[in-house]
Amino acid sequence: MFVYVIKRLMAAVPTLLGVSLVIFSMVHLTPGDPVQVMLDVHASADQVARLRHEMGLDRPLPEQYARFVWGAVRGDLGVSLKSGRPVGAEMADRLPATLLLTFAGMGIAIPFGVLLGVIAAAKRDTWIDSLTMVVAILGVSVPSFWIGIVLMYVFGVRLNVLPVAGASSWKHLILPAITLGALASSVLARMTRSGMLEVLSSDYVRTARAKGLAGKVVLFKHALKNTMIPVVTIIGVQIGSLLGGTFIIEQLYAWPGVGRLAVGAIQARDYPMMQGIGLYVASAYVLVNLVVDMVYGLLDPRIRYS
C-alpha cells in the first residue's frame, strides 16, 4: 500500500506540471496589467516600468514560467503583487477557514445525504421516496446564495440566534456549513438512492433477506458498503471542489476562505497568487483522489493495491 501511495504521488508530478503550465498561460492571457492595477491608475510610466522590472514581469514568459516552477518546487510561490506578502503566508491564513468549512459542510452533507438516499431506496415508490427526492431535487436546483440568504434572514435577523457574517466562533460556522451541506447532501442523496436500488436487487441481498436478517442490518451492514463506492467518488469530487474555496458561500457569509482570496487575486491581476492558488487546488484534487482510491480498498476487500 505504501509503495502504491508513493507511486501515485510521483505520478501526480506530471499532472501538476501540466496544470501549472495551463494556469500560467491563462493568467498571462487575461487582459489587464497587474502593475497598472497595483500602482493605481495615475502612476507614471517610469514607476510602472520600474515595478514591472522589480517583479520580473519584463522577463520573457518562458523564463517567468521556469522561475515559477523552480520556486514552487522549493516551496516558494512568490510574493503577492497585491499585499506584498508571501503567497504561501496569505494562503496559510485562509486555509484553516476553508478546511473547516469543507469538513463541516461535508460533515452535514454525508450523513444527511446518504441517509436520505437510503430511506428513499428502502421506501421506494412510496410517499417517503417521493418526498425525499423532491427535497433532494430542490437542494440541487435552488441556488446556494438563495438558501443562504433565507437562512441568514430567518436565523440571523428575525430569530437572531446565529451570527450572519464572519468566522470568530463556532456559531459562525453553522449557517455556512448548512448552506453548503444542503447542496452537497442533495447530490449525495440521489446518488445513494440510485446506487442502493441497484444493490438491493442483487442476489446476495436476496440471500440476506431470505436468511431472516433485519431490514436495517441488510441495508446498513450489507448493502450500503457496495452502494458507497460510486458515492465516495462523488464525495471526493465535492471535497476537492470545496477545498478550492466556495466563493459564493464565502462572499455571502464573509467567510475568510480561499475562494474570496482567489477572486480578489483575479480582480487585482495578482499573478503569483493566482498561480499559487491554482497549483494548490490541483494538488488538493490529486490528494483527494488518492484518498478516495484508498477508501475503495477499505470498502471492497477485493480491491488490492500494489
Partner 1 sequence: MMKRGWGPTVSLLLVLIMLLSACSGGGSTSGGAAKDGGDAPSGGAAKGGTINYGLSDEPDTLDPQKSGLAVVASLSWLIGGSMLVQDPQSKAYICYLCDTYEVSGDGLVWTFKLKQGVKFHNGNPLKAADWKYTFERAKDPATQAKNAGALLKEAKSVEAVGDYELKVTLSNPFAPFADALTTGFLVPLSKAAVDKGDYGRNPVGAGPFMFAHWRSGERIALKRNPDFNWASAFYRQKGPLLPDELVYKIIPEEATRIAALESGDVDITNVNYQNVQRFNSDSNFETLSIKRQGLGLFVIFNLERPILQDLKVRQAINAAINREAIIKAVLQGYGKPAFGPLPEVFFGYDPGVEAKGPRHEPQKATKLLEEAGYTKGAEYYEKNGQPLTLNLFTMTSGTWKASAELIQAQLKEIGVKVDVQPYEWATLTAGLTNGKHDMSLMGYTYADPDVVYLFLHSSQIGNGINWSKVKDADLDRLIDAGRTTVDPAKRADVYKQLQALMIDKAYWAPIYNEEQFFAVNKRVQGIWMHPTKGMQFIDASVKAK
Binding footprint of partner 1 on the chain (CB under 8 A): 31-34, 36-37, 39-45, 47, 50-51, 54, 82-85, 90, 93-94, 97, 115, 119, 122, 149, 152-153, 155-157, 160-168, 171, 174, 214-216, 251-257, 260-261, 264, 267-269
Residue whose CB is less far from partner 1, 165 or 295 = 165
Residue whose CB is less far from partner 1, 256 or 297 = 256
Q: Least distance in Å: CB of 235 to partner 1?
A: 21
Q: Least distance in Å: CB of 215 to partner 1?
A: 4
Q: Least distance in Å: CB of 107 to partner 1?
A: 13
**8 A C-beta contact, residue 256 and residue 94:** yes
Q: Least distance in Å: CB of 7 to partner 1?
A: 37
What nine digits make up the cell of 9? 504521488
Residue showing cell 503550465 = 21
Cα 53 to Cα 6: distance, rounded to the nearest angstrom: 40
CA dihedral 106, 107, 111, 113 (to 10 degrees): -20
Residue whose CB is less far from partner 1, 34 or 78 = 34
Q: Least distance in Å: CB of 9 to partner 1?
A: 30
Which is nearest to 133 in space by CA: 190, 196, 77, 203? 190
Residue whose CB is less far from partner 1, 230 or 264 = 264
Q: Least distance in Å: CB of 41 to partner 1?
A: 5
Which is nearest to 87 in space by CA: 287, 300, 226, 270? 270
Residue whose CB is less far from partner 1, 160 or 201 = 160
Residue whose CB is less far from partner 1, 255 or 285 = 255
What does the DSSP 8-state code read for residue 84? S
Residue whose CB is less far from partner 1, 94 or 222 = 94
Residue showing cell 491564513 = 93
What does the DSSP 8-state code read for residue 188? H
Q: Least distance in Å: CB of 134 to partner 1?
A: 17
Q: Least distance in Å: CB of 305 to partner 1?
A: 36
Alpha helices in 74-86 (DSSP H): none
Cα 301 to Cα 153: distance, rounded to the nearest angstrom: 48
CA 287 to chain centre: 12
Which helix H or strand E contains 280, and what residues bound it? helix 271-299
Which is nearest to 115 in space by CA: 284, 209, 228, 35? 228
Number of other CB atoms surrounding residue 33 within 10 Å: 12
Residue whose CB is less far from partner 1, 19 or 269 = 269
